[in-house]
Amino acid sequence: MKRVVVVGASAAGLAAVETLRREGYDGTLTLVGDEPHAPYDRPPLSKQLLAGEWSPDRLALRHSADLDTLDLDLRLGVAATGLDVPGRTVRLADGATVPYDGLVVATGVRPRRLPGEGAHVLRTLDDAVALRDRLEPGVRVVVVGAGFLGAEAAAVASRLGAEVTLLEPAPVPLAHAIGDEIGQVLSRAHLDHGVNLRTGVTVTAVTEDGVRLADGEHVDADEVLVAIGSLPNTEWLADSGLSTGDGLNCDEYCEAAQHVYAAGDVARWYNPLFGVPMRIEHRTNAAEQGMAAARNLLRPEARKPFAPVPYFWSDQYDMKIQAYGYLRGHDEVAVVDGDLETRRFVAAYRTGDRLTGTLAVGMPPKAIRSWRQAIATGATWREAVPPGDTGDDR
């Protein structure tokens, strides 16, 4: 290969170009990013940056000198608008076309929005700065969506003295992913810190001074943050012939078509460790998948399936939440260490007869590491959790 193009200049794209250079690729390497900023870290957007504890320059994933050593054809502030797979060219918003012999798609996701104008979303550095500048004591903030992103933002806003209302359509936030009982534990943390958490309510529109609910009620707010999930950025691939749906569909090698691989939030790939296709929107997965896709693209004769144990973390109030594995669709969850009431515990998740996930709140990293290893080796539930130690959460 003489020319490789990586579309997406965040964690996955950066990991891909660095891996290509580290593995000896010395051809033309183009990195395309739709934001004007050099690659930066996204998890702090809803944590340290939003809280005003970090300045934007602290989020940079690499110093400019480090990027220079990669000898990149760097195209920032320009989005990809089309892909010609037979012709092996990427079309850009500025009218340019970039040829490739190998391509890595790492275009990430964008926030879902609600009808109406004026609401904040939280995906980019500019989004986070705009919201941060509005958070001050006494400001009325409505956060729509009590998933991990909305919960983190609500926790920060509350800590800064804002009057926070957190609206969630599900009866228990995050129950679909982590289980009803643990979802209730995390919910109580918001209530304990003065957040007005309302569940079972659906927001239909953003208004000039708040949000409107499905039953017609209006909830007043000075600022509104919409955190209701995301959509994979695959529209630019619409005429490419590639298979898209909930992301760019790939095999276990992260390959979407010959010479085309995907990584990060946009990639939906078959994970052989769990036997299901998945799309993971977590920082660790983005970097690991960017490296795996680059290696498989560079050396197809030595390709390896990408079969990670996904990992994510969240900081809310004084709680450090960590999880390994694939928790969605679980059949049972059992607290295997600690206590729910004190918000210091480890929970294990069963899907079928296998241990498929673990989640820890308020526990040191070592308390969960052995569970990650058990998931990675395909441990059965009976092997991992002795009979009598389980708690059914169906």
| Beta-strand relationship, 3-7 and 28-33 | parallel
Mean pLDDT score of the chain, rounded to an integer? 96
* Among candidate residues 43, 215, 213, the one with its CA nearest the CA of residue 142: 213
pLDDT in tens, 169-216: 999 999 989 999 999 999 999 999 999 999 999 999 999 999 999 999
Residue 26 has pLDDT above 80, yes or no: yes
Q: Give the pLDDT mean for 386-393.
A: 56
Q: Which helix (H) or strand (E) holds 90?
A: strand 89-92
Q: Which residues contact 296 (CB under 8 A, 6 or more apart)?
A: 253, 254, 255, 261, 303, 304, 306
Percentage of the chain exceeding pLDDT 70? 98
- Residue range 321-334: average pLDDT? 95
Q: How confident is the model at residue 242 (pLDDT cuts 50, 70, 90)?
A: very high
pLDDT digits (tens, 9 = 90+) for 78-107: 999 999 999 999 999 999 999 999 999 999
pLDDT in tens, 132-169: 999 999 999 999 999 999 999 999 999 999 999 999 99
- The Cα–Cα gap between 151 and 167 comes to 10
The pLDDT, as a whole number, for residue 389 is 55
pLDDT at 392 over 90: no
- What's the pLDDT tens digit per position in 11-20? 999 999 999 9
Instruction: Give the pLDDT confidence score for residue 393 in this predicted structure.
Output: 40
> pLDDT for 343-376, tens place per residue?
999 999 999 999 999 999 999 988 999 999 999 9
